[in-house]
Amino acid sequence: MDKIVVEGGARLVGRIPISGAKNAALPLLAAALLPTGASTYKNVPQLADVRTMAKLLRMLGWDVEFGSKTEITIAPPSGKKKPKLEAPYDLVKTMRASVLVLGPLVARYGRARVSLPGGCAIGARPIDQHLKGLQALGAKVTLDHGYVEVEAKRLKGATIVLDMPTVTGCENLLMAAALAKGRTVIENAAREPEVEELATVLNKMGARISGAGSALITIEGVDELLPIEHAIMPDRIEAGTFAVAAAMTHGDVLLEGARPEHLDAVIAKLRASGVTVAAEAGGIRVRGTGELTAVDIITQPHPGFPTDMQAQFMVMACIAKGQSVIKEMIFENRYMHVPELGRMGADIHIDGRVAVVRGGAKLTGASVMATDLRASASLILAGLVASGKTEVLRVYHLDRGYEAIEKKLRAVGAKIKRAKQ
């Protein structure tokens, strides 16, 4: 297994190209189950999660081919080959986003059997809203030996009011409703840019979806979807992570391809911390010009501050001037980075969903590890400013969601490398 080794103290200067978004790529790959022919995506990030989704689509019977490094073509089973409508436990347990095949398979083939994901490192994360929505569309949902089985001859449009704006839940329902008979309305829908991206792609395929990006989405079902070609949007969380790296190292970095309109809440908090952020032709420029000051953060569904940036901002709070209060409102257990940061000298106190961070810490390098993706990224950020050497172990978490993070950081001056653990 690999580890990442960072020597702290380097100032980051230069340009970092932002890859395609993981959380857009995963639903888009699942959406390729819907059209009648082969679809091609460009700007696909090279990530473990994307490879897992490709593996799942292959197991279902689809032909998945990586063209150039960032291009993927997904074709339905050819000839007499029948699709296998099941996502097995082995895959779902390594990647929860496997549940995204549920909606498209039921909509197109009338049946799907998907292992229930169970809890994960950051919280319980049930999929009750996905299932409630599919039931509202007329599907029969049963639980069988740890698997959910969903069946419907043809889904029928309905009004679905989500209990909370779930991102993948909304995406599953968009894909299901696209081929349902009649009109579906999703109320309290997730407004994340990745949901909007999926709706854009489904519309390119011939779906009739309006309102994506708002809390009310309307879908007029169609009988058939057609293959398309599409370049995936840039990853706003990868961009946000590198923005924090630039700010913490008093650097000057252009995040190439990043879209400011996807990062309003993050940019507002960076500015409130004293960081200079400017939208420029070709991306977002981030400069850590003065002293970092403490800011309070509450994670919320989009357009609120993203939970996927909470760990990174907490590291910045550790070295900022003053005290920050951070509230994690999306996942109940998303503070796994805290004990590890404590080992590096951070002063953080947790009480339930609230973390109080006393700033001004002088972080020191250590061997650390975390059990999820964004927590691991935050440890790399800590290593960039810590004195001496930091080793981040269990790098496979990082490889799920950051493409070549060490290469991108090295190119702007970080002293960072991958080594055998």
Q: Which is nearer to ligand EPU, 206 or 240 (CB)?
A: 240
Binding of residue 129 to ligand EPU (CB under 6 A):
yes
Residue 362, C-beta contacts closer than 8 angstroms, at least 6 positions apart: 345, 387
Nearest to 340 by CA among 365, 310, 318, 370: 370
Closer residue to ligand EPU in complex, CB, 114/373 = 373
d(CA 163, CA 214): 16
User: In terms of CB distance, is 148 or 317 closer to ligand EPU?
Assistant: 148
Residues in the chain, how many?
421
What is the spatial distance between Cα 19 and Cα 373, in angstroms, rounded to a whole number?
16
Count the neighbouring beta carbons within 10 Å of the beta carbon of residue 214.
12
Site string for ligand EPU, 320-339 (x = CB under 6 A): ----------xx--------
Question: 296: how many CB neighbours lie within 10 A of its CB?
Answer: 14
Report the residue number, 125 or 183, with the smaller CB distance to ligand EPU. Answer: 125
CA atoms within 13 A on the CB side of 17: 7
23 binds ligand EPU (CB under 6 A): yes
Number of residues that bind ligand EPU (CB under 6 A): 25
Tokens found for residue 213: 């990006």
Of 17, 88, 110, 123, which one interacts with ligand EPU (CB under 6 A)?
123
318 is catalytic: no
Q: Based on the shown chain and the rule CB under 6 A, indicate whether residue 419 belongs to the binding site for ligand EPU.
A: no
User: β-strands 147-151, 140-144: how paired?
Assistant: antiparallel
Furthest C-alpha separation in the chain? 66
User: Token digits for 95?
Assistant: 């990647």
Catalytic residue among 48, 59, 116, 120: 120
Q: Should residue 168 be labelled a site residue for ligand EPU when binding is judged by CB under 6 A?
A: yes
Part of the chain binding ligand EPU (CB under 6 A), chosen from 166-174, 213-221, 245-253, 346-354: 166-174
Of positions 127, 134, 219, 309, contacts ligand EPU by CB under 6 A: 127
What pairing do the DSSP bridges indicate for beta strands 229-231 and 39-42?
Answer: parallel
**Candidate segments 209-217, 240-248, 257-265, 300-308, binder of ligand EPU by CB under 6 A:** 300-308
Report residue 231 as tokens: 């370049």
Distance CA 117, CA 147 (A): 9
Sole binder of ligand EPU in the list 10, 12, 18, 26 (CB under 6 A) = 26
Is residue 172 close enough to count as binding ligand EPU by CB under 6 A?
no
Check residue 218 for interaction with ligand EPU (CB under 6 A).
Answer: no
Residues in 352-391 that interact with ligand EPU by CB under 6 A: 373-374
**Of these, 5, 167, 228, 239, which contacts ligand EPU (CB under 6 A)?**
167
Looking at residues 176 to 215 of the shown chain, list those that interact with ligand EPU (rule: CB under 6 A): 190
**Residue 115 binds ligand EPU (CB under 6 A):** no
Which amino acid is present at 135? Q
Residue 320 phi/psi, 5° resolution?
A: -75, 165
Of 86, 308, 399, 406, the residue at the interface with ligand EPU (CB under 6 A) is: 308
Burial class of residue 364 in the structure, from the number of CB atoms within 10 Å of its CB (0-12 exposed, 13-18 middle, 19+ buried): middle
What residues between 393 and 412 interact with ligand EPU by CB under 6 A?
401
Q: Within 32-124, where are the H helices?
A: 48-60, 89-92, 102-109
Q: How far is the CB of 371 from ligand EPU (least distance, A)?
A: 12
Name the residue among 401, 365, 370 with its Cα closest to residue 382: 365
Contacting residue, 15, 84, 125, 418, with ligand EPU by CB under 6 A? 125
Residues serving a catalytic function are 120
Q: Which residues of this chain interact with ligand EPU, rule CB under 6 A? A: 23, 26, 97, 123-130, 164, 166-169, 190, 306-308, 330-331, 373-374, 401
